[in-house]
Amino acid sequence: MSTLRPDDILKRTSAIGTYYGFTSLASAAAGKKSTSKVPYPENLPLDTLDPNAREVAGFLKHVRDAGLTPSAAQPLFLWHTNAAAGRPSPKQIVIQFHALGVEHAIADAVLIRAVRALMQDLGKGPLTIRINSMGDKETRGRFARELNTFFRKHGNALPENCVNCAKRDIFEAAELLAVTEDGAIMPSPTDHLSEVSRKHFETVLEYLESTDTPYELAPQLLSRGTSWTETCFEVHQEEKLAAWGSRYNDMAKLFFKSSMPSIGAVIRINVDSRDTIPATKERGTPRFVFVHIGDEAKRESMRMTDDLRRARIPMVQSIGVQSLTEQMRLVDTINPQYVLIMGRKEALERSVILRERANHTETFIPLDSLIERLKIVA
């Protein structure tokens, strides 16, 4: 998918993470006292997990072992990779983006946007985002019953390997059938969503549409096993699968012993160079932190992010964090020279407030001229 050097891949991942509000796991763990390493949960059978689920489980273990404790009040938006400076590049670089502790659909949309931005940066050719929902436990149980009925009723006309597979794992059988011509007549999980899951999925789609994020509904896109819940998506580049993502609320709960609504994405990049990855230069303190309050401001900020990134405005923001308190905590931590503020009023008026922290002066800037104005200030 990419001819970039491993260090370029990591630089671009870090930059996109910064603009979309994802911190590297290594950076987030640096200020924490590492706890003693604890084995994987006993009720998480690693040998039965699909490859993406194993990557996510490994990430969750790293988070827990580092002493990081996400929560609804203090969610974590992190990115992680198996490539590290000072070590030879792995043959396949795996990059993960995760939002831990966020139940709201904004986490799904921000993560999809970040993955899309990285895919656009790393590869050439058109991107296709395919999205579906497997729903919650109630939905999966209902859908499993529908699938069992379907396979019993149509078994004589379906591929033999799919029918045999259905006897041991109905969801694996459905995945096998989905890529055949008969997949079109198979039941879809979205037809059986619980009310809670239906509202969540509709909100995810609304975010994607309102932020001009192209996607395709994929009724036959399924997530196997009990690791995945709710939203699931794929990103294809040049008709090849480049990334997979889904919510994994139940698996996260096993690591943190409490309800932990979470979503993640796994990106796999084959590289030619196996050379030692050089260390990257530390970024200086960004001059701007962007704070957004309310749904309208969040949507507007998502639309603006790629333009701000391409203009290389030295900015940090936490799009997926709804709490104003947590966003201001980020301001205090980074201590930038300027804060950009957008609330509902500003979003509707298509403007933003630029506050200089040293003297508390505020300037209203129309969004149409924001980038040029920030270039002057920066």
Q: How confident is the model at residue 225 (pLDDT cuts 50, 70, 90)?
A: low
The four Cα atoms 290, 131, 93, 271 give a dihedral, to 10 degrees, of -110
Residue 227 pLDDT greater than 90, yes or no: no
What percent of the chain has pLDDT above 70? Answer: 96
pLDDT at 349 over 70: yes
Question: Mean per-residue pLDDT for 142-158?
Answer: 91
pLDDT of residue 220: 83
> Once rounded to an integer, what is the mean pLDDT over residues 306-313?
92
Q: Where do the structural domains in the chain lie, given as residue ranges? A: 6-135+194-270, 137-190, 288-377
The span from the CA of 302 to the CA of 113, in Å, is 8
Reading the block at residue 132, the tokens are 């579906």
- DSSP states of 8-29 as a string? HHHHHHHHHHHHHT-EEHHHHH
Coil, strand or helix at 44: coil
**pLDDT confidence bin for 279, thresholds 50/70/90:** confident
* pLDDT at position 50: 86
Looking at domain 6-135+194-270, its CATH superfamily turns out to be: Bira Bifunctional Protein; Domain 2 (3.30.930.10)
| Between 221 and 206, the higher pLDDT residue | 206
Residue 255: name the closest of 122, 81, 15, 65 by CA. 65
CB 306 within 8 A of CB 110: no
pLDDT at 213: 94
- Does residue 224 surpass a pLDDT of 90? no
Q: What region, left, alpha or beta, does residue 365 occupy, with left being phi > 0 and alpha being psi -120 to 50 degrees? A: beta
| Higher per-residue confidence, 242 vs 279 | 242
Where does 212-367 have alpha helices with state H? Answer: 249-256, 295-310, 324-334, 344-349
The domain defined by 288-377 carries CATH number 3.40.50.800? yes
How crowded is residue 181: how many other Cβ atoms within 10 Å of its Cβ? 8
d(CA 312, CA 243): 25
> Which tens digits make up the pLDDT trace of 39-90?
888 888 888 888 899 999 999 999 999 999 899 889 999 999 999 888 888 9
- On whether the CB atoms of residues 286 and 315 are closer than 8 A, the answer is yes
Distance CA 143, CA 223 (A): 12
Pairing of the two strands 288-292 and 262-270: unpaired
Residue 33 has pLDDT above 70, yes or no: no
Cα 341 to the center of its chain, rounded Å: 24
Nearest to 225, CA basis, from 47, 9, 67: 47
Q: Would you place residue 2 in the very low, low, confident or very high pLDDT band (cuts 50, 70, 90)?
A: low
pLDDT at 46: 85
For residue 283, give the nearest of 234, 316, 261, 307 by alpha carbon: 316
Determine the angle formed by the axes of helices 106-122 and 6-20, rounding to 10 degrees.
150
Alpha carbons 175 and 157: distance in angstroms, whole number: 17
Tokens of 274: 């196996």
The pLDDT value recorded for residue 175 is: 86
Residue 322: pLDDT above 80?
yes
- Give CA separation, 135 vs 129, 139, 215, 245, 295, in Å: 19, 5, 19, 14, 23
Please write the tens of the pLDDT for every residue from 230-255. 999 999 988 788 899 999 998 999 99
Number of H helices, E strands in the chain: 13, 13
Euclidean distance between CA atoms 211 and 214, whole angstroms:
9
Predicted TM-score of the model (pTM): 0.92
Give, for 81, the enclosing helix (H) or strand (E): strand 76-81
Structure tokens at 6: 């491993």
How remote is the C-alpha of 259 from its chain's centroid?
19
Q: What is the pLDDT of residues 105-141, one digit of tens each?
A: 999 999 999 999 999 988 767 899 999 998 988 888 8
Q: Do domains 6-135+194-270 and 288-377 have the same CATH topology?
A: no
Q: Give the span between the Cα atoms of 110 and 186, in whole angstroms.
A: 31
Taking residues 28-39, report their average pLDDT: 75
